[in-house]
Chain A
């Protein structure tokens, strides 16, 4: 079955960088778009970024545009999120999620990794 396993979260100071990874298995990785969605403590879901199946297209939420970069390595079945210039408001659990068919319906989710931005 589909498995998505995030890693790379932790405590980081404001202004610093962090890279998240999401290791995927159980499906043809190179055939699906992938997303990052975050959830601040006690809050709702916020879509962060998406990358197309072949990595040729990326889109970002306005709140992270210019600071975060989504990427993928189809040879390693791994999705990444490079987060630069981190702010306190970026504190959240970050989920990677598999797209159904390019329509932003998120059919499979990882367990998430917690990023805490604090001095």
Chain B
């Protein structure tokens, strides 16, 4: 199975500043035939279920604020929150769907306000 490793485990960022979450896969999740990265990002706020933010490594879901952006390719990916808002406090998970089953998740990164 592909192993997803996120870093850092947690980070504290001041309101309005940038938060960066990293995700590394144990093998490439880039499918060469369509040049797409099979990588999704989810947000889980306290006491709530996860919510899909981004798929294909960089495509935001409808309604997701544009301060959330995804980047990267192959094995290294980044979720950036540009201008952290109080409502962004959450745990963020990456997930690969290149090799399924399973669609493995990273261990999560907790984003807090400094």
Contacts and interface: CB of A to CB of B under 8 A. Distances in A.
Describe B's contact surface by its main secondary structure: loop
A52 to B, nearest CB: 12
Contacts of A106: 40, 42, 50, 52, 95, 103
Interface stretch (B68-76, B81-89, B104-112): B104-112
Interface size class of A (residues with CB under 8 A): 20 to 34
Interface size class of B (residues with CB under 8 A): 20 to 34
Nearest to A107: B52
Given A47-B102, A47-B105, A105 B40 contact: yes
Interface of A: 37, 44-47, 50, 59-61, 95, 100, 103-107, 109-112
10 contacts: A44-B108, A47-B102, A47-B103, A60-B101, A104-B97, A105-B40, A105-B55, A105-B95, A106-B42, A109-B50
